[in-house]
Amino acid sequence: MLDFSVAEIAQIVGGRLNEQAEAIAEARVTAPAEFDSRKLQPGSLFIALPGENVDGHDFAASAIEAGAVCVLAAHDVDAPAVLCPPATGETTGLGLEHPDAQAVIQGLSRLARGLVDRCEQLTVVGVTGSAGKTSTKDIIASVLEQAGPTVAPPGSFNNELGMPYTVLRCDAQTQFLVAEMSARGIGHIAKLTQIAPPRISVVLNVGSAHLGEFGSRENIAIAKGELVEALPDDGVAVLNLDDDAVRAMAERTNARCVFYSTQSSQADVYATDIVLDEVARPSFVLHAGGVEVPVRLQVFGEHQVSNALAAAAAGLQAGLTLEQVATGLNAHVARSGRRMEVTTRPDGVTIINDSYNSNPHSVRAGLAALAYTASAREDARSWAVLGQMGELGDDAESEHADIVATLQQLHIDRVVAVGDNPNMRALVDAATAAGMWVRAVPDAQAAAQTVSADIEPRDVILVKASRSEALWSVADIVAAG
């Protein structure tokens, strides 16, 4: 974290020091902010966040003992603390509705914005989309690291709590912050851009993920487009030419627009000669500015080419050369767990663990990688272990049933549908009607048993579901043999 005194933190968040903090007002906070007292380093700031089961305020004293300089709190504690003012405006909607939690989150956001404002060398790259945000954020980080210190923590720290936490990983040496921005409704991304105003905004796609919260794809596009609306006039919007709703966002900003594409050579950055290896790792020729360079990715699935092009465009706009961009792309390995993680057992069975999140777009991409990997092996069978996709609203059952058409087109051999709920029953009924091999099981344990009982060497298994289904245990059990 940037070097702040305790008094400066109070000034930035609009709070006040308690009596103990007044005695150390000039003490410096130099290490990252943490919610978990077990992760504190000497010089840290402890964030006393009230949760459903525990209240961080109760750990204030032990946090100081662990090395924290002071505590960011909503009320007085038995430790040096910056006391945040009561929260104003709408609540975050993160399940942390207690006024104390809202006060701390708002104070944390103000502190993060204060850090961004003081880091004149920092370039913020914002990333959003209905699918692929985290994977693309990670690839962008691998590219930008070729030019300088970059902050982009693994995982999905992409909301009103995760965003300031991520920002506060930056320090005086950080040149690039890659900020993943998610939304549960219109206006949410706009709020996130107030915490970390982007200089480069990357929009990947507009799909049907979270359709139940937004009501329509048009509303999703409105929300995602808030990222380009936040750009200054001298900023850059990196937009997916292959997505009509993203392409149209060019009209929502005065910033310069740069387009990328896997389909059109009219884009500013595009790919040709896409080839997949035996486990669906793509190679392609990257084109930009009349120059071309070969790229060989170490991540899995043809859909990663589009993610890599977005990262390449962002890197070029951040001032990197095409050679630096290619080096970053070639060196990138998956950083965030349970996203197209590929494991091959000694007997040749391959497990594709893509269980962190799920929506119709990402399911089809995962199934395509499954089908290709199985087709490259003699006598291999393809297994799709699928759990429900969350937050699809009134169309949820039909969206699940529609996946069967993709399963048929890709000639997926076996389908294990996990969960006794209307969505998975709709998928099972459609697969049964289509004459597919399908088994309905109640939970992850039963799914793992079903696969393990019938799996053969060289088979390929995809595990895919929304995070709430916790199907990664299927991948773990099958991978362990």
Residues 17-44 have pLDDT tens digits of: 999 999 999 999 999 899 998 899 999 9
Which residues are within 8 A (CB) of 155 and not within 5 positions of it... i.e. 6 or more apart?
A: 134, 336, 337
> 363 pLDDT exceeds 80?
yes
Q: What is the mean pLDDT of the chain?
A: 94
Would you give the distance in Å from CA 53 to the centre of its chain?
Answer: 26
**Residue 454 corresponds to which tokens in the numbers above?**
């019938």
Distances (CA, A) of 110 to 114, 194, 346: 6, 9, 51
DSSP 264: -
Distance in angstroms (rounded) separating the CA atoms of residues 387 and 220:
24
Cα-based torsion angle of the residue sequence 110, 112, 116, 118 in order, rounded to the nearest 10 degrees: 70
- pLDDT the model gives residue 158: 84
* pTM: predicted TM-score of the whole model, two decimal places: 0.85
- Give ∠ CA 324-330-331 in degrees, rounded to 5: 90
> 96 pLDDT exceeds 90?
no
Span 320-324, average pLDDT: 97
- pLDDT the model gives residue 92: 67
- pLDDT the model gives residue 267: 98
Bridge partners (DSSP) listed for residue 382: 460
Span 403-424, average pLDDT: 97
- pLDDT the model gives residue 159: 87
Q: How confident is the model at residue 458 (pLDDT cuts 50, 70, 90)?
A: very high
> 212 pLDDT exceeds 90?
no
- pLDDT the model gives residue 93: 63
Q: Where are the extended beta strands (E) located within 129-198?
A: 150-151, 176-180
Q: How long is the chain?
A: 481
In the chain, % of residues over pLDDT 90 = 84
> 210 pLDDT exceeds 70?
no
Q: How confident is the model at residue 209 (pLDDT cuts 50, 70, 90)?
A: low
Amino acid identity at 18? N
Distance in angstroms (rounded) separating the CA atoms of residues 197 and 183:
16
- pLDDT the model gives residue 94: 66
If one compares 78 and 214, the residue with the highest pLDDT of the two is 78
